[in-house]
Amino acid sequence: MGRRSGELGVGAVIGWTVLSALVPGTGHLRAGRRGTGWTLLGIYALLLTGALILVLTADFELLGALTSSAWLTAITVAAVVLGVGWFAAVVHAYVVLRPGGLSTAGQIASGTAAGVVAVAAMLPFALVAQYVTISRQTLDEVFKTPADAQDRTAGSEDPWNGRDRINILLLGGDADDHRPGVRTDSINVVSVDVETGNTVLFSLPRNLENVRFPPGTPMHERFPDGFRLPAGPGGGREDLLFSVWQYADSHPELFGGLENQGAKTLKETVGYTLGLRIDWYALVNMWGFARLIDAIGGVTITVHEDIVFGKYNEGLIKAGRRKLRGADAMWFARSRTNSDDYTRMRRQRCVLAAILEQADPATVLSRFNQVALATRDLLQTDIPRPMLEHLVPLALKVKNARVTSVQFVPPLIHTGYPDWVKIRRITAKALRDSTASRTATAASASPEPADEADENAQNRRGRGTDRNPADRPGRGARNGDPAVAITEGCA
């Protein structure tokens, strides 16, 4: 059957349908539907203009706002509406191009092509809706906050309440189905300057002895002279820093019958040890940590010496520059075979540094579903959901800021008989140095202890005021300064 004058061939129908998917309205204009065509082109122009403005004006604060449930729900609805609308526009463009004048084979070919094009045009919007829905569900599952905490943080003009720094207790635990309870094998505090993102990572050894508890707390009443318990079966110790969480959880009678007081107790204990106010905690399950590393495709790390691991020393990570999958990265960070807790702390810091450097947005987006699912199994925290709006921009600042690390290990401190005042003074100096890097006058800050004027800044920085001018920090590090770059010793 021949085509009438003005009718399009198979190639032209398919071509104009494809063009309609790229620029809605063009197919309608070709078919003579000018009103519909110009309307669709106008909507398309408005969408492009809005997207361009968004890209040009986007900042860290906008990215933070996009973590709110309201924004995520709105984005999901918008993606669904746009996806359905785009699909309908492509199909309608194909119909008005009058493929009925084609041969049967031509109609089948062009119709199939139009269907594929319409689905392809809708697919990006479907993926956006899926990703955003998964994000919202993950955030809601991980960041579970009581209503009163939400009321304190939501809508605050200054979410930091005038403080210069926030302090987050970052813990690594190894609980699983075969080993119930929480034992915090990795204990770190991340202190972040809210203006610059400059960060200090403080690492405390799991085997810290005679841990002191804040006066007035139930644990201090039970252990006024420090955390000491009789040796367990086989001489095992259950009164080290890593056991504080589990001990508190196992003794609700100390807290008036309240259960699950381990996190709160450890926050108070670590904060008292360092002279800081700990704002929130995040407990990372080590096995979930391995799944997260797998989700981002592994991490590349320099292994300085062969790492042996496993119950029977059956595992081996060879020395050299290696790309490690999740399980190997976890054992690299945790193995104590032919090593000690302090070397292990350094390796843990190197793994954190590698993730911070290598988990770029492109990698996370390309493996989004895997990352989201791993995060659900990975993290337990008391960070309020509304605070994400402020913490996300701050975290993005950290990636490009100055990050230093202080490890409280021998010979800097003695883990059996810790000098608590010295630990606090080292902490205070590291924070002063981190803050000083943002001002020209502080660039030449003295390594001597702060003078009395510095006491006025203690509360703003979230620090305690227990100081001892006779105790000088830094004897265990190069150049008398225990604070080093987070990547120190990792290359």
pLDDT, tens only, 376-429: 778 889 999 888 888 988 988 887 888 899 999 889 999 999 999 999 999 999
> Is the model more confident about 152 or about 112?
112
Name the least confident of 75-79, 309-313, 437-441: 437-441
Give me the mean pLDDT over the 470-474 stretch.
35
Residues 112 and 186 grouped into a single domain: no
Q: What is the pLDDT of residue 84?
A: 97
Residues 104 and 171 grouped into a single domain: no
Query: Does 460 reside within a domain?
Result: yes
User: Does the model's pTM come out above 0.95?
Assistant: no
Query: Does 404 reside within a domain?
Result: yes
pLDDT category of residue 156 using cuts at 50, 70 and 90:
low
Residue appearing with tokens 């402020």: 390
Residues 193 and 98 grouped into a single domain: no
Query: Does 233 reside within a domain?
Result: no
Residues 111 and 175 grouped into a single domain: no
- Domain final residue pick, 93, 110, 142: 142
Q: What is the pLDDT of residue 175?
A: 59
pLDDT tens digits, 237-257: 889 999 999 999 999 999 999
Owning domain of residue 87: 10-142
Give me the mean pLDDT over the 45-69 stretch.
86
pLDDT category of residue 235 using cuts at 50, 70 and 90:
low
Residues 189 and 303 grouped into a single domain: yes
Half-sphere exposure of 442 (CA within 13 A, CB side): 12
The mean predicted confidence, pLDDT, of the chain is 83
Q: Is the pLDDT of residue 471 over 50?
A: no
Q: What is the pLDDT of residue 481?
A: 67
pLDDT tens digits, 71-95: 999 999 999 999 999 999 999 999 9
Give me the mean pLDDT over the 292-314 stretch.
86
Q: What is the pLDDT of residue 212?
A: 96
Three-state SS sequence of the chain: CCCCCCCCCHHHHHHHHHHHHHCCCHHHHHCCCHHHHHHHHHHHHHHHHHHHHHHHHCCHHHHHHCCCHHHHHHHHHHHHHHHHHHHHHHHHHHHHCCHHHCCHHHHHHHHHHHHHHHHHHHHHHHHHHHHHHHHHHHHHHHCCCCHHHHHHHCCCCCCCCCCCEEEEEEEEECCECCECCCCEEEEEEEEEECCCCCEEEEEECCCCCCCCCCCCCHHHHHCCCCCCCCCCHHHCCCCCHHHHHHHHHHCHHHHCCCCCCHHHHHHHHHHHHHCECCCEEEEEEHHHHHHHHHHCCCEEEEECCCEEECCCCCEEECCEEEEECHHHHHHHHHCCCCCCHHHHHHHHHHHHHHHHHHCCHHHHHHCHHHHHHHHHHHEEECCCHHHHHHHHHHHHHHHCCCEEEEECCCCCCCCCCCCHHHHHHHHHHHHHHHHHCCCCHHHHCCCCCCCHHHHHHCCCCCECCCCCCCCCCCCCCHHHCCCEECCCCCC
Residues 133 and 178 grouped into a single domain: no
Residues 197 and 316 grouped into a single domain: yes
Q: Is the pLDDT of residue 203 over 80?
A: yes
Q: What is the pLDDT of residue 62?
A: 80
Q: What is the pLDDT of residue 468?
A: 34
pLDDT more than 90, % of the chain = 46
Question: For residue 343, what is the domain's CATH number?
Answer: 3.40.630
Give me the mean pLDDT over the 329-333 stretch.
87
pLDDT tens digits, 335-376: 878 777 778 878 888 888 888 777 776 777 677 777 777 777
